[in-house]
């Protein structure tokens, strides 16, 4: 029995500590934020319930990343999934929440089923659930079993991470939860899946096969593109953020997949470097996505809607929220000198170094992957220009947006904290990379002392001997100095007497919110360019007063949810069909059921004896 | 010190290229055309004009000219023009350059949305569309050049490489990128204010006076940076202040010829752009995706050539 329930099941190696850091650094501001966010929105009893659930949620995540036993891991994994389900359906009066919760709980359990299968297979070989025991058993495991375990783990963790096409739950569940929970779910919870992949695949299983990394890279590339293209299309701001989480998980997985590829090719230096890139993007995404979700929550709190087409002009009434959201949007669009730039630069650099040092066709493959990443980052910039521009700039498009007021201090405090982190993680990149190299070194088991990732404390130079530099502090300083220089020149020509006047309206009377570009209009070129994938369609309807007089037109434009339509709906139909045919053996007679049980037991005994 | 000289060079020479392109285009069309110095006159005029700011605009609208200018000047400071390595070169590499460009564009589009005019939204939306599809092509061009050099260091442009198939194709890719980035035919048209076609002009429609001058200046600088990079790839020439194996010039005549050729290359690129502009028709916006697709494919070809070592 001691195999099952160890006395000591906690361990804090660098990887666990890193993830604990990520969990708490996002959970803390989100918790502070929730003080005022929950007030007035829910009844006092429910607020207490939410605190209770939040505590369990954070602790279950913390334990998931710090146990050293697969069985205990599964237990906490399950607690984490269940508690987050309750948090998703927290707004019980919304029908959408129930539906979102349903999709979430089904998908997450399918994922857990794969995980259980994988861990059972591991147990079968190791005769223990302890990580160290499994690790040593994996050294002598046959390659075929390893491949099966890898695929099971990939499916299991991939569901949680939102790898396309298993991402289907993410855009439903994340927007539906209260905003501070969305921030934790998107910022941290899905990262536990990355922890799982690093811990079980890289650390325990050990990558020896070449195609694992390639497979993960292909999936990650698809995930990036699909995530960001959908994010561009939606008009619900929290849904946009959820889709963008799918995209960013793709970017993180690009780093992880690259690390796996290099590990199998026996290039320790590059493996460590790519892992650093992946981990860096992971912590960055946790920070800025947490920030953006809190910002979106503030907008929701102030305006009562998440539909971007009804927002606008909020920068005037909510200047501080707008500034925080802008910082988050800039970071996620990888603009220097913020943190998103550092990690995307590192990932691109990892691809480049791979393309220089790898052999054969892999080089071309890596170059194409880098192009995918570049396209993703371009689209992400477009997406977040849209998110910020439509929500916060120009004229308010509805009464709610016009009457919005700045949110209370505790909510802003959470956002300020995360904005500050965005800037710190951008400027102090060299220090952070040093810490991350410790983590990456301990995971891969390579000696990192001989690898120099930095030239000095300000400049980043990933390749020894070669001069590749990037220094965010220096870039930031230069931007500031030259921007100020521009301002000085601007002022040298005398004081600027700008006239405040109406926006150019082509000589018509008045330009109003209805003339503004909307989110849907902004993304129209993308909808047309990616129409082969999005399959957009429109519905027009004439509303007639009489046969001769058309009073108004109703016009809707939609995109076809490809994955739902062509994968999940047929699958669901199949499940229902099978279930229906199963009803034939369900006759209601207790004798028959006893007979079924007997047959099952006999079959099980035969199975155990045989295998 | 040389860095400041370099920035001044970019600020002073950049408008000339636009004037030149416009002059060449007009002359080929059998028109007299405006003076080559017209962009300078425009800037001077704009600097002395009073500004009109939309009442809808927020602080984003006001800071954008400075952010855009700063981004372009930083890019101009990063690339090796006079010397191989200055303290500021350490700030970023070739990949960082892509993201710095993106910083300027990000703010420009936000400022376009800020005034609440549908022109701004239209221009912004189209600009993001073009530029995001441009990004992979640019990335491939960067990779192709850097793969030859062995690192993404900006020194790949120090002009000490031999011309290969890869660098020619990479230069071609960058050329297409430059046409799209500088809003020229067939992707955009700088000469028109027709709402159906304009992209860049629609974005900056609400700007006036000094702010517009700064933004125009930034686009001139961006254009010159791109032309310079193309010139360095396809007509490599060493740098004057170059301790590690650059050309050594002894006589005054040699230095004079060097300077002449150094500038002439950029002018050749500018004239080529003008020739391309008058010989093709403006594309529909959604055909531009094909154009950028072509640029991307060329970029991949360049990278593959670089990998193969040809």
Distance CA B7, CA B10 (A): 5
Residues facing A499 on adjacent strands: B52
Q: Using 50, 70 and 90 to split pLDDT, how confident is the model at B138?
A: very high
What average pLDDT does the segment A516-538 reach?
Answer: 91
Q: What is the reported pLDDT for A110?
A: 94
- DSSP E strand stretches across A205-268: none
Q: What residue has token string 């590829």?
A: A261
Q: What is the reported pLDDT for B270?
A: 95
What average pLDDT does the segment A165-172 reach?
Answer: 91
Consecutive H or E run containing A500 = strand A499-501
Q: What is the percent of chain A with per-residue pLDDT over 90, rounded to a whole number?
A: 61
What average pLDDT does the segment B165-184 reach?
Answer: 93
A356/B147 Cβ within 8 A:
yes
Residue A367 · residue A356 · CB < 8 Å? no
Q: Using 50, 70 and 90 to split pLDDT, how confident is the model at B102?
A: very high
| Residue A3 scores a pLDDT above 80 | no
Q: How far is B309 from chain A (nearest CA, A)?
A: 11
Q: What is the reported pLDDT for A465?
A: 45
Q: What is the reported pLDDT for A368?
A: 93
Please, which residues 269-288 of chain B have a Cβ atom closer than 8 Å to chain A? 285-286
DSSP state of A304: S
Q: What is the reported pLDDT for A586?
A: 82
- The CA-based angle A159-A162-A165, given to 5 degrees, is 80
Helix (H/G/I), strand (E/B), else coil: B53: strand
The DSSP annotation for A140-209 comes to: TS-HHHHHHHHHHHHHHHHHHHT-TTGGGGHHHHHHHS-HHHHHHIIIIITHHHHHHIIIIIIIII----
Q: Using 50, 70 and 90 to split pLDDT, how confident is the model at B239?
A: low
Q: What is the reported pLDDT for A462?
A: 53
Q: Using 50, 70 and 90 to split pLDDT, how confident is the model at A490?
A: confident
Total Cβ atoms within 10 A of residue A211: 13
Task: Output the six-digit token pair for A245.
Answer: 């989480």
Q: What is the pLDDT of residues A372-430, one digit of tens each?
A: 999 999 999 999 999 999 999 989 999 998 988 999 999 999 999 999 999 999 988 88
Q: Which of A223, A325, A312, A212 is nearest to A261 (CA)?
A: A212
pTM, entire model: 0.94
| Residue A2 scores a pLDDT above 60 | no
Q: What is the percent of chain B with per-residue pLDDT over 70, rounded to a whole number?
A: 93
Q: Using 50, 70 and 90 to split pLDDT, how confident is the model at A515?
A: confident
B-chain CB neighbours of A486 within 8 Å are: 65-66, 69-70, 73, 214
Distance CA B149, CA A498 (A): 49
Residue B148 · residue B167 · CB < 8 Å? yes
Q: What is the pLDDT of residues A231-287, one digit of tens each?
A: 999 999 999 999 999 999 999 999 999 999 999 988 888 888 899 999 999 999 999
Distance CA B288, CA B111 (A): 24
| Residue A460 scores a pLDDT above 60 | no
Name the average pLDDT for chain A: 89
Q: What is the ipTM of this complex?
A: 0.94
Distance CA A27, CA A30 (A): 5
Q: How far is A421 from chain B (nearest CA, A)?
A: 20
- DSSP E strand stretches across A317-437: none
Q: How far is B137 from chain A (nearest CA, A)?
A: 8
* Domain boundaries, given as residue ranges, for chain B: 2-308
B129 inside 8 A of chain A by CB: yes
| Residue B82 scores a pLDDT above 80 | no
Q: What is the reported pLDDT for A91?
A: 83
Sequence length of chain B is 310
Q: What are phi and psi of B250, to 5 degrees?
A: -100, -50
Distance CA A217, CA A254 (A): 5
What average pLDDT does the segment A454-469 reach?
Answer: 52
Q: Using 50, 70 and 90 to split pLDDT, how confident is the model at A467?
A: low
| Residue A85 scores a pLDDT above 50 | yes
What average pLDDT does the segment B192-221 reach?
Answer: 89
Q: What is the reported pLDDT for A385?
A: 96
Pairing label, strands A550-559, A499-501: unpaired
Q: What is the reported pLDDT for A210?
A: 86
DSSP state of B163: P
A393 inside 8 A of chain B by CB: yes
* Domain boundaries, given as residue ranges, for chain A: 7-193, 282-503, 516-559, 563-610
B134 inside 8 A of chain A by CB: yes
Q: What is the reported pLDDT for A5?
A: 61
Residue A516 · residue B121 · CB < 8 Å? yes
Helix orientation angle between A268-303 and A14-38, rounded to the nearest 10 degrees = 10
């Amino acid at each position: 029995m001691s195999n099952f329930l160890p006395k000591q099941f906690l361990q804090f190696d660098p990887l666990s500590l890193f993830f604990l850091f990520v969990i708490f650094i996002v959970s803390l501001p989100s918790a502070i934020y929730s003080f005022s966010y929950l007030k007035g929105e829910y009844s006092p009893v429910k607020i207490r319930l939410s605190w209770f659930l939040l505590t369990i949620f954070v602790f279950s995540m913390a334990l998931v990343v710090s146990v050293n036993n697969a069985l205990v891991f599964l237990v906490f994994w399950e607690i984490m999934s269940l508690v987050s389900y309750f948090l998703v359906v927290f707004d019980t009066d919304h029908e959408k929440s129930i539906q979102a919760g349903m999709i979430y709980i089904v998908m997450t359990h399918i994922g857990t089923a794969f995980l259980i299968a994988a861990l059972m297979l591991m147990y079968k070989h190791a005769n223990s659930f302890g990580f160290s025991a499994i690790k040593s058993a994996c050294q002598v495991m046959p390659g075929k079993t390893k491949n099966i375990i890898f695929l099971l783990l990939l499916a299991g963790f991939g569901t949680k991470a939102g790898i396309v096409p298993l991402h289907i739950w993410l855009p439903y569940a994340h927007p539906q939860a209260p905003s501070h929970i969305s921030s934790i779910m998107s910022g941290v919870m899905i990262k536990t899946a990355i922890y799982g992949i690093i811990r079980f695949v890289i650390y325990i299983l050990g990558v020896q096969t070449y195609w694992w990394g390639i497979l993960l890279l292909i999936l990650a590339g698809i995930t990036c593109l699909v995530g960001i293209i959908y994010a561009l299309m939606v008009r619900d701001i929290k849904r946009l953020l959820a889709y963008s989480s799918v995209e960013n998980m793709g970017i993180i997985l690009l780093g992880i997949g690259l690390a796996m590829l290099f590990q199998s090719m026996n290039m320790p230096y590059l493996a460590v470097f790519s892992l650093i890139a992946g981990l860096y993007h992971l912590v960055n995404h946790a920070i800025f996505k947490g920030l953006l979700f809190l910002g979106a929550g503030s907008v929701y709190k102030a305006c009562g809607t998440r539909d971007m087409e009804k927002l606008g002009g909020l920068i005037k009434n909510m200047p501080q929220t707008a500034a925080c959201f802008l910082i988050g949007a800039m970071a996620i669009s990888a603009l220097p000198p913020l943190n998103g730039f550092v990690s995307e630069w590192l990932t691109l650099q990892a691809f480049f170094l791979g393309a220089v040092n790898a052999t054969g066709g892999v080089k071309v493959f890596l170059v194409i992957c880098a192009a995918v990443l570049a396209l993703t980052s371009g689209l992400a910039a477009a997406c977040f220009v849209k998110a910020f521009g439509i929500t916060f700039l120009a004229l308010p498009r509805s009464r709610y947006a016009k009457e919005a007021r700045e949110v209370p201090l505790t909510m802003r405090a959470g956002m300020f904290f995360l904005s500050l982190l965005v800037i710190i993680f951008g400027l102090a990149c060299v220090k952070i990379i040093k810490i991350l190299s410790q983590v990456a070194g301990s995971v891969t088991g390579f000696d990192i002392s001989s690898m120099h990732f930095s030239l000095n404390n300000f400049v980043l130079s990933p390749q020894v001997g070669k001069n590749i530099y990037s220094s965010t502090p220096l870039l930031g300083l230069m931007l500031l100095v030259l921007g100020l220089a521009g301002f000085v020149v601007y002022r040298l020509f005398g004081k600027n007497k700008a006239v405040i006047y109406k926006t150019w309206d082509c000589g018509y009377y008045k330009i109003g919110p209805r003339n503004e570009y909307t989110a849907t209009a902004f993304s129209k070129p993308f909808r047309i360019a990616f129409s082969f994938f999005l399959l957009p369609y429109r519905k027009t309807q004439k509303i007639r007063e009489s046969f001769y007089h058309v009073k108004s037109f109703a016009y809707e434009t939609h995109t076809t949810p490809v994955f739902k339509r062509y994968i999940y709906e047929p699958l669901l139909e199949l499940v229902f069909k099978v279930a229906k045919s199963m009803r034939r053996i369900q006759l209601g007679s207790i004798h028959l059921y006893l007979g079924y049980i007997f047959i099952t037991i006999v079959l099980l005994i035969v199975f155990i004896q045989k295998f | 010190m040389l860095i400041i000289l370099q920035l001044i060079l970019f600020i002073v020479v950049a408008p000339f290229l636009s004037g030149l392109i416009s002059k060449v285009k007009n002359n080929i069309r059998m028109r007299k055309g405006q003076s080559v110095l017209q962009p300078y006159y425009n800037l001077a005029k704009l600097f002395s004009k009073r500004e009109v700011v939309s009442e809808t605009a927020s602080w984003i609208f006001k800071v954008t000219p400075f952010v855009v200018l700063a981004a372009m000047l930083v890019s101009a400071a990063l690339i090796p023009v006079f010397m191989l390595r200055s303290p500021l070169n350490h700030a970023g590499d070739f990949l960082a350059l892509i993201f710095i460009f993106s910083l300027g564009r990000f703010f420009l589009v936000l400022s376009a949305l800020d005034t609440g005019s549908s022109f701004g939204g239209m221009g912004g939306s189209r600009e993001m569309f073009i530029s995001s599809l441009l990004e992979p092509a640019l990335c491939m061009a960067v990779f192709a050049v850097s793969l030859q050099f062995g690192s993404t260091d900006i020194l790949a442009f120090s002009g000490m490489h031999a011309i290969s198939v890869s660098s020619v194709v990479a230069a071609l890719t960058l050329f297409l990128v430059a046409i799209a980035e500088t809003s020229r035919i067939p992707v955009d048209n700088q000469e028109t204010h027709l709402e159906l076609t304009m992209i860049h002009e629609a974005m900056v429609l609400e700007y006036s006076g000094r702010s517009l001058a700064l933004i125009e200046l930034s686009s001139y600088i961006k254009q010159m940076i791109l032309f310079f990079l193309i010139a360095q790839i396809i007509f490599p020439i060493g740098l004057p202040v170059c301790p590690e194996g650059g050309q050594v010039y002894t006589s005054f005549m040699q230095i004079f010829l060097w300077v002449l050729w150094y500038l002439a290359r950029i002018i050749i690129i500018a004239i080529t752009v003008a020739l391309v502009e008058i010989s093709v028709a403006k594309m529909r916006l959604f055909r531009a995706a094909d154009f950028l697709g072509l640029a991307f494919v060329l970029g991949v070809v360049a990278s593959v050539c670089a990998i193969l070592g040809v």
